[in-house]
Structure 1
Amino acid sequence: MKPKCKLVGKDGNIFNLMGIASRTLREVGMKDKAEEMIYRINNSKSYLEALAIISEYVEIV
């Protein structure tokens, strides 16, 4: 089950969103998933791809 992460209404900068999602994952003991997500986002080709990656790891609310 993915942890809920409040991203709606936040600054849409992908690095800001990545940080919020990463923090959420770490807070629930998923440090390895946070690091995996960051790696994948940093190697993504577009903003939309990066958003899709975030949504694989957290439930965006």
Structure 2
Amino acid sequence: MSKPKCKLIGEDGNIFNLMGIACRTLRRAGLKKQAEEMVDKITRSKSYDEALVIIMEYVEVE
């Protein structure tokens, strides 16, 4: 699966903000199921760093 590009650098670093941006990017790319899966994994993650790694698994961060 090719990952959609997502501009996160320079955005507010709040994890919920970053998750929302990545989620919208996935939905716009027609990847609704992956967006839901990503949100589920992030909300179950144990740390900020773990959540960032999950985001990077789904989108290409720029």
TM beyond 0.5: yes
Aligned length: 61
The 5 A counterparts of 1:43-54 are 43-54=44-55
Q: After TM superposition, what 4+ stretches of structure 1 lie above 2 angstroms from structure 2? A: none
The 5 A counterparts of 1:8-47 are 8-47=9-48
Percent identity reads 69
Unaligned ranges ≥5, structure 2:
none
RMSD, matched Cα: 0.1
